């Protein structure tokens, strides 16, 4: 009998999402506390990475051929029934029969921004079945509680993962050389990190940047968009002033944060919004959209703008660029945010809440 079964399908080979980082933090806490685990995978899951985490702890793999209602509701229960009493997932589509089989269900729901009406309906119908539901911010907690009509527990995400190991000189030079070929030089670009889905509002950022060029405020800066894609991602074209970097690994991401002049996040909605907080870990001044979740996480440590106004964003970019004293002030403020979000362990907190009984 395993201590817990964990759906690991978000940990895809060659890709790390915000959700997968949350899951990895929890997996490491489970392994650290030596809890035996049944890990659910599909053919895209990074099994070697999982094996490294659990190398000296009892574990086993259970393979799911595909995703879909049949596999989630029928196959997963067959794979884990009689092998565990706890099930954890970062997806809302948990097998509803599990609680009836005596298996406690624990869910982490980052946000409901891109949920379809079917997913919302599923949570309305079955949201009271899980033992506990977790989410990363009070903003998301409020939105989810309206749907499931029960208590949801807020567990802030930590950001210690983004710091990683310091880039050695040879790696730094290699990345710098590759970036220079794309026209990206240290200290001469502003940065966005994330996908191009509609709620990310990247088009407004591009329009604001282009607006500055059109009115003669060419600051000699490059706008770097790192990430891209997304299920409903908008098409953004590269220019000599706008550069897109896809498939960004952790080392390149750290280089971009470290060497950017400042960071911008124009989202219309977020469950947590990790990239602005990641930028804070590198001491960068941050401009963010004026939405509830950023008021919660950033407080007075960021410059806010109207996410529907390219003109307002263009003015804030010019202000932060032209006023070095202001930029230094917000760089110092960002370090306070970073200190808070690196002061606790998300995985351990989640572990305690699941295994406390």
Which CATH number do you get for residue 46? Answer: 3.40.50.2000
Residue 248, pLDDT score:
86
* 211 and 324 both lie in a single domain: yes
* 144 and 18 both lie in a single domain: yes
Residue 184, pLDDT score:
93
Domain count, the chain: 2
Residue 217, pLDDT score:
61
* 230 and 99 both lie in a single domain: no
Q: Which tokens in the block code for residue 206?
A: 């591009």
* 188 and 334 both lie in a single domain: yes
- Give, for all 357 residues of the chain, the pLDDT tens digit: 999 999 999 999 877 777 888 899 999 999 999 999 999 999 999 999 999 999 999 999 999 987 788 889 999 999 999 999 999 999 888 999 999 999 999 999 988 888 889 999 999 999 999 999 999 999 999 999 999 999 999 998 888 777 766 677 888 889 999 999 989 999 999 999 999 999 999 999 999 999 887 655 667 889 999 988 777 767 888 888 999 998 888 889 999 999 999 999 999 999 888 899 999 999 999 999 999 999 999 999 999 999 999 999 999 999 999 899 999 999 999 999 998 888 888 999 999 999 986
Q: Which domain holds residue 177?
A: 167-341
Residue 214, pLDDT score:
67
**Residues for the chain: how many in total?**
357
* 117 and 179 both lie in a single domain: no
How crowded is the C-beta side of 279, counted as CA atoms within 13 Å? 28
* 35 and 101 both lie in a single domain: yes
Residue 172 CA to residue 50 CA, distance in Å, equals: 28
Residue 57, pLDDT score:
95
Helix axes of 117-126 and 138-148: crossing angle, nearest 10 degrees: 70
With H, G, I as helix, E, B as strand and everything else as coil, classify residue 65: coil
Residue 233, pLDDT score:
67
Q: Which residues pair with 63 in a beta bridge?
A: 41
* 223 and 195 both lie in a single domain: yes
The answer to whether 106 touches 86, Cβ cutoff 8 Å, is yes
* 172 and 281 both lie in a single domain: yes
* 62 and 186 both lie in a single domain: no
With H, G, I as helix, E, B as strand and everything else as coil, classify residue 286: strand
* 177 and 129 both lie in a single domain: no
* 202 and 336 both lie in a single domain: yes
The answer to whether 85 touches 1, Cβ cutoff 8 Å, is yes
Sign of CA dihedral 189, 194, 197, 200: negative
DSSP string, 84-136: BSEEEESSS---TTTGGGT-EEEEE----TT--HHHHHHHHHHTTSSSEEEES
* 106 and 181 both lie in a single domain: no
Residue 304 CA to residue 322 CA, distance in Å, equals: 17
């Amino acid at each position: 009998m395993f201590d817990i079964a964990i759906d690991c399908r978000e940990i895809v080979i060659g890709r790390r999402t915000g959700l997968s980082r949350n899951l990895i933090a929890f997996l490491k806490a489970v392994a650290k506390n030596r809890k035996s685990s049944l890990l659910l995978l599909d053919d895209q899951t990074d099994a070697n990475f999982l094996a490294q985490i659990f190398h000296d702890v009892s574990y086993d793999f259970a393979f799911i051929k595909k995703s879909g209602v049949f596999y989630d509701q029928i196959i997963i229960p067959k794979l884990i029934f009689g092998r565990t009493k706890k099930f954890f997932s970062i997806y809302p589509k948990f097998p509803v029969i599990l609680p009836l089989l005596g298996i406690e269900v624990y869910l982490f729901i980052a946000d409901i921004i891109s949920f379809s009406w079917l997913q919302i309906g599923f949570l309305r119908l079955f949201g009271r079945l899980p033992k506990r539901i977790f989410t990363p911010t009070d903003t998301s907690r409020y939105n989810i509680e309206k749907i499931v009509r029960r208590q949801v527990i807020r567990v802030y995400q930590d950001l210690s993962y983004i710091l990683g190991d310091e880039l050695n000189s040879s790696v730094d030079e290699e990345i710098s050389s590759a970036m220079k070929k794309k026209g990206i030089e240290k200290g001469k670009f502003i940065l966005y990190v994330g996908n191009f889905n509609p709620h990310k509002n990247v088009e407004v950022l591009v329009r604001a940047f282009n607006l500055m060029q059109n009115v003669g405020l060419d600051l000699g800066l490059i706008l770097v968009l790192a990430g891209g894609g997304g299920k409903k991602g908008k098409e953004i074209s590269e220019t000599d002033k706008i550069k897109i970097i896809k498939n960004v690994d952790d080392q390149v991401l750290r280089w971009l944060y470290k060497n950017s002049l400042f960071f911008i996040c124009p989202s219309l909605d977020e469950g947590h919004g990790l990239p602005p907080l990641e930028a804070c870990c590198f001491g960068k001044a941050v401009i963010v959209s004026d939405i509830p979740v950023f008021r919660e996480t950033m407080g007075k440590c960021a410059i806010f703008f109207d996410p529907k106004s390219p003109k307002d964003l263009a003015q804030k970019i010019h202000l932060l660029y032209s006023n070095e004293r202001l930029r230094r002030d917000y760089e110092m403020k960002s370090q306070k945010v970073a200190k808070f979000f690196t002061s606790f362990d998300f995985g351990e907190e989640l572990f305690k809440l699941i295994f406390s009984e």
